[in-house]
Chains A and B, each alone.
Chain A
Amino acid sequence: MERPVPLSIANKTMHETDMTKALIGTIHDWWDSQPKHPTIQKIHLIVGAFTCVEPASLQFAFEVQTQGTFLDGAQLVIKDIPLVAYCHTCRADYRPEFGSQYACPECNSPMEDIRSGRELKIDHLEYVAV
């Protein structure tokens, strides 16, 4: 049984509330496809810095939204991935300054290729077979 998220919390972490819904939906699909519905203990996520997800808010929203569901008590483990871009002119990776500088600090070429930081991935699950 799903409990509604109190409005005050939903408003504070609105983006992550929706993101968490999407996460739960994806895991539910996997869980449902298993012949014997296992108990999921840990969910390992990979979250890039160049996404719209704030890990702390995601943790909070996850705890609230999974209460009383098939994921009650499951732990969310989030691995942060920094934003790394590749400059074709300098032929080198660089770390953009979030909020101020995305172009290459050496030659000022715009951010063309993103090497990492766009990840929003469920990497793996730890579960107990029933």
Chain B
Amino acid sequence: MHQTFDAAIEMNLLHANQRGADHNRSHFDQWGITCINLMSSPGAGKTQLLESTLKGLQGLNVAVIEGDMTTELDADRLRQHGVPVIAINTGRSCHLDSKMVAGGIHQLQHDHDPTALDLVVVENVGNLVCPAEFEVGEHAKVALLSITEGEDKPLKYPVMFREADCLLITKTDLAPHLEADLDQIEANVRQINPHVAIFRVSAKTGEGLAGWFEWIQQTVINQTNRLQLTV
């Protein structure tokens, strides 16, 4: 005769992913690396922003882990800037998970000296939904929203904008050609996430990038200080 039992699990649905993310983070901590997870809808300008960042950011050794559904086109664009770029082909998956990024980290460790790096930027798959729930081992989340996407996007996809530590409103050079209300975008994000750092940037003209670079520098400093305190 069979007896039915009840087992309390009380475990996060994403427990397995979370455990992997913690493992990745411990690698980054061990190497003194700050990891940033870059997320947005497709076409918000993540790769172009990264290109401008690799060009303009001073004094930090950067590597990129690049998630792309099928191609290495983005990775090839970034490699031209002379930094280590690990491409992860995500197949049909619409986000990076901690296991995929673990593969990227191991490759990074194999091909390069991770202790020489200060910053790893993970460029997530273009998607406003899933990446918000799947941590990859980052210390900070950065969301991009281009001004062509509409002011209401933060209200429709609130989870990502709630989770973000930093929001970049991108493609501001297009503002004269659009009826985009940038103050409204900021107000919509602020009602979901009052403490997020917001920068209006154009990766094309360089406008506003100084604030973003400063935010990165500060995030790396905070992270380094945190590690020294815990050692």
Please state if B10 and A26 are interface contacts (CB–CB under 8 Å).
no
Main SS at interface, chain A: mixed
Please state if A50 and B11 are interface contacts (CB–CB under 8 Å).
no
- Total B residues in contact with A, Cβ cutoff 8 Å: 36
Please state if B192 and A124 are interface contacts (CB–CB under 8 Å).
no
Please state if B133 and A52 are interface contacts (CB–CB under 8 Å).
yes
Main SS at interface, chain B: mixed
Interface residues of A, Cβ cutoff 8 Å to B: 7, 10-11, 14-15, 18-19, 22-23, 25-27, 29-30, 38, 41, 45, 47, 50-53, 98-103, 110-112, 114, 120-129
22 contacts between A and B (CB under 8 A): A10-B92, A11-B92, A14-B94, A15-B130, A18-B95, A19-B133, A22-B14, A22-B97, A25-B17, A26-B16, A30-B7, A53-B13, A110-B191, A110-B192, A111-B192, A111-B194, A112-B194, A123-B8, A124-B8, A127-B5, A127-B7, A128-B5
Identify 16 new A-B residue pairs, CB closer than 8 A, beyond the known A10-B92, A27-B9.
Answer: A14-B93, A18-B93, A19-B13, A26-B12, A26-B15, A29-B16, A30-B11, A51-B133, A52-B129, A102-B191, A102-B192, A103-B191, A110-B190, A110-B192, A125-B6, A127-B4
